[in-house]
């Protein structure tokens, strides 16, 4: 079993590096201020920036009503408008949004135009929303994001304090089913374990960029400078690419944690979790199947193989390094997952099941590869998205 030693020793080194990154992010990742900290200070300003809250919505009948009500109930001293774009929904999204507004003049529900050739659905919807917006700040948010009454105030306060051309807030994820709890946290894990937030904020290189499309707050001039959603019209990971373009345009990119003020429940069951992550995973690996396969093997070696070696070794000729090496690697993997869960306000006990999470992500990677081979790209909400 010498080959296990050859794999596990570098894995331990990699896990130690990732753990250092995750702990640094725990210390330095900005968090939205609480209502008590933000409210009096921001409300006393003579003029709060006006905000256009822009919501692309395709078949969001289950979520859109609550989201509209929460946004219209924000304790924000400036002028706001809430614009919902019904993106060719086949359900009652538009009617429910209007009913939730109860005649509030700040709410506008638009009918989306048909998807043009060369566009992906979400960038096209966001492009239409931007064209309809009137205010100083453009806040793109998803229909399933829940806003605490002071969340908009806290988000704008952070953007103003950081002087950000783009502030991307990472919502606190609400998870109920086991598939959500095992897979959804890996989105924040990928950010917190692999990319120091100090690099994002301090380095001008556009590859040191990240963003979460669930909450993107642009200064209007920064949105225009980076080309807006028209510049990423054919991309699935439009949020990350917009962040890169913000840096490329010389604008300030900042990230912040939602800290419970901004929350989201992305998916409700395994099928939606699988398809939602399979939609993005290839794009996140440069649209390269070999790169995705290599990444999958890397994570299996880091988080699954040590535990297999540890438990199989009890009944076999264990060889050198057992049980110290596999136990060390396994515990480091759990510690790494725990540290990112702590930063993102996720259940810490779920870190014990990190090997299961990685196996589920392997299944998701295979789903994405199958879509690419059989259909040419991922499938989402009735649309086949382009391979790019």
Give the per-residue pLDDT at 380: 74
Please indicate whether residue 38 or residue 212 has the higher confidence score (pLDDT): 212
The tokens of 11 are what? 């894995």
Q: What is the mean pLDDT of the segment spanning 146-174?
A: 97
Domain ranges of the chain: 2-26+272-384, 29-178+189-266
Mean predicted confidence (pLDDT) in 203-219: 95
Note the pTM of the prediction, 2 decimals.
0.92
Closest CA to 93 of 381, 383, 374: 381
For a pLDDT cut of 70, what percent of the chain falls above it?
95
235-279 per-position pLDDT tens digit: 989 999 999 999 999 999 999 999 999 999 999 999 999 999 999
Q: What is the pLDDT of residue 260?
A: 95
In this prediction, residue 40 carries a pLDDT of 47
Pairwise pLDDT comparison (270 vs 46), residue with the higher score: 270
Mean pLDDT, all residues of the chain = 93
Q: How far apart are CA 82 and CA 139, in angstroms?
A: 9
The pLDDT tens digits of the residues spanning 93-123 come to: 999 999 999 999 999 999 999 999 999 999 9
Average pLDDT over residues 120-142: 97
Q: Is the pLDDT of residue 292 over 50?
A: yes
Check residue 93 and give its pLDDT: 97
Could you give the CA distance from residue 61 to residue 381 in angstroms, rounded to a whole number? 13
The string of DSSP letters for 176-242 reads -SHHHHHHTHHHHHHHHHHS-HHHHHH---TTS----TTEEEEEHHHHHHTTGGGGGTT-S-HHHHH
- With bands split at pLDDT 50, 70 and 90, how would you rate the model's confidence at 35? low
pLDDT-above-90 percentage for the chain: 88
What tokens appear for 90 in the block? 């086949």
Residue 318: per-residue pLDDT: 65
Q: Does domain 29-178+189-266 have CATH number 3.90.550.10?
A: yes
């Amino acid at each position: 079993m010498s080959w296990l030693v050859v794999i596990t020793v570098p894995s331990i080194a990699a896990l130690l590096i990732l753990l250092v990154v995750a702990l640094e992010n725990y210390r330095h990742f900005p968090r939205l201020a609480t209502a008590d900290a933000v409210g009096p200070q921001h409300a006393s300003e003579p003029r709060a920036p006006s905000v256009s809250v822009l919501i692309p919505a395709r078949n969001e009948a289950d979520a859109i009503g609550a989201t509209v009500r929460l946004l219209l109930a924000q304790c924000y001293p400036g002028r706001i408008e809430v614009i919902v774009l019904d993106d060719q929904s086949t359900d009652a999204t538009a009617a429910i949004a209007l009913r939730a507004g109860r005649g509030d003049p700040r709410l506008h529900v638009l009918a989306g135009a048909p998807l043009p050739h060369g566009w992906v659905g979400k960038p096209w919807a966001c492009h239409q929303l931007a064209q309809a917006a009137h205010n100083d700040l453009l806040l793109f948010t998803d229909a399933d994001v829940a806003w605490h009454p002071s969340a908009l105030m806290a988000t704008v306060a952070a953007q103003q304090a950081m002087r950000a051309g783009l502030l991307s807030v990472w919502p606190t994820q609400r998870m109920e089913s086991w598939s959500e709890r095992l897979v959804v946290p890996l989105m924040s894990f990928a950010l917190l374990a692999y990319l120091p937030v100090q690099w994002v904020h301090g380095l001008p290189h556009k590859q040191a960029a990240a963003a979460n499309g669930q909450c993107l707050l642009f200064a209007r001039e920064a949105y225009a400078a980076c080309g807006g959603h028209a510049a990423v019209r054919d991309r699935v990971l439009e949020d990350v690419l917009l962040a890169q373009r913000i840096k490329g345009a010389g604008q300030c990119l900042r990230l912040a944690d939602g800290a419970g003020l901004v929350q989201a429940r992305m998916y409700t069951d395994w099928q939606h979790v699988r398809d939602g992550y399979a939609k993005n995973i290839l794009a996140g690996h440069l649209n390269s199947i070999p790169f995705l396969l290599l990444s999958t093997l890397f994570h299996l070696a880091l988080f699954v193989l040590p535990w297999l070696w540890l438990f199989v070794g009890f009944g076999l000729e264990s060889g050198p390094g057992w049980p110290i090496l596999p136990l060390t690697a396994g515990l480091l993997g759990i510690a790494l997952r725990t540290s990112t869960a702590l930063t993102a306000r996720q259940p810490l006990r779920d870190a014990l099941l990190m090997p299961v999470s990685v196996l589920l992500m392997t299944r998701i990677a295979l789903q994405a590869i199958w879509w690419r081979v059989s259909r040419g790209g991922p499938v989402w909400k009735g649309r086949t998205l382009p391979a790019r």
